[in-house]
Amino acid sequence: MSAEQLAAVFNAGIREFTRLTPQIWGPAGQSLIAQLRLRPGDAVLDVCSGAGASALPAAAAVGPDGLVHAVDLADDLLEEGRLVASDRALHNLDFVRADATEWEPPSTVPDAGYDALACSYGVFFLPHVDQSVNRLVQLLRPGGKVGVTVWRRGALTDLRRAYTDVLARHLPGAAPSGADPSPLSRFDTADALTDWLTGFGAHTVEVTELSNLLPATPQLVWDLVLGGALRAPLLGCDDAVVEKVRLDLLALLTERDVETIDATTLIGTAVLDR
Ligand SMILES: C[S@@+](CC[C@H](N)C(=O)[O-])C[C@H]1O[C@@H](n2cnc3c(N)ncnc32)[C@H](O)[C@@H]1O
């Protein structure tokens, strides 16, 4: 998906995306920031920040002497993040609309670079993921930290399969749903994620698993479709078609005895060698 398409999809899904925060984005963002062990005064770059699931706890962790740049393509999510940051008086956090692959640190960032890079559920959207992440890693100071969250292998699989089958019935020819699955296998197990992070010149790699098995309620299922990249094939579709997809998807999940949505997530952090 192009940057414009991603922005359109995530802006359109802000209501559903926000409903997923307490169950999915929030716990992962908090865990990522805890595992990064940020220090007061640190400068943090949070890419694919959305509404700040990891950027908001990062801002609290680094305190008023630190700074967090939260970068995303989707204006509506950024605006949501700004509101929450303002409510919490987190004045050290800037939400900026930009493409992470083109981000240049402003002059407020120390010459040596950021202390940490965070990206929660975002790396799989970046084109040429290794190249993109490598470029971002170059924005860190020597000994800086990198942290990502990604879906663990098998997460959301039942939902994706059922959704793909339903789309084939109602929207034959629709693009494969969701983020390009090809890079996912590069970092969807603890070993693969460890190797992947090590490849950026990192040591002290730590990968933990955040088990997240959620009852497959109709609301959660549909929020997962509309609140993220799975929404893409439905953009611009008739309401009647969208409703048929929703009903068929729920029926198919029931027929397949899918009672749980596996949203288990890997949290990987590493310290740079250089
Ligand atoms: C699944 S959301 C995760 C948002 C947030 N990190 C969280 O955990 O709640 C993925 C986000 O990546 C953003 N994104 C995708 N590609 C991007 C890019 N090239 N530059 C900046 N943001 C991007 C999307 O706009 C979307 O908000």
Over the chain, what HEC string results?
CCHHHHHHHHHHCHHHHHHHHHHHHHHHHHHHHHHHCCCCCCEEEEECCCCCCCHHHHHHHHCCCCEEEEEECCHHHHHHHHHHHHHCCCCCEEEEECCHHHCCCCCCCCCCCEEEEEEECCHHHCCCHHHHHHHHHCCEEEEEEEEEEEECCCCCHHHHHHHHHHHHHHCCCCCCCCCCCHHHHHCCCHHHHHHHHHCCCEEEEEEEEECCEEECCHHHHHHHHHCCHHHHHHCCCCHHHHHHHHHHHHHHHHHCCCCEEECCEEEEEEEECC
| Banded pLDDT at 175 (limits 50, 70, 90) | low
Whether 232 is in a domain gets the answer no
Q: Could you tell me the distance, in angstroms and rounded to a whole number, from the CA of residue 257 to the centre of ligand 1?
A: 31
Whether 98 is in a domain gets the answer yes
- Evaluate: CB of 125 within 6 angstroms of ligand 1: yes
Whether 251 is in a domain gets the answer no
Which residue range(s) make up the domain with 50?
3-155+180-214+262-272
pLDDT at residue 179 in the model: 46
The total domain count for the chain is 1
Q: What is the pLDDT of residues 198-237, one digit of tens each?
A: 999 998 999 999 999 999 999 999 999 999 999 999 998 9
Whether 221 is in a domain gets the answer no
Q: Whose CA is nearest to atom 11 of ligand 1?
A: 48
Whether 236 is in a domain gets the answer no
Q: Could you tell me the distance, in angstroms and rounded to a whole number, from the CA of residue 255 to the centre of ligand 1?
A: 33
Residue 103's CATH number? 3.40.50.150
Whether 185 is in a domain gets the answer yes
Whether 233 is in a domain gets the answer no
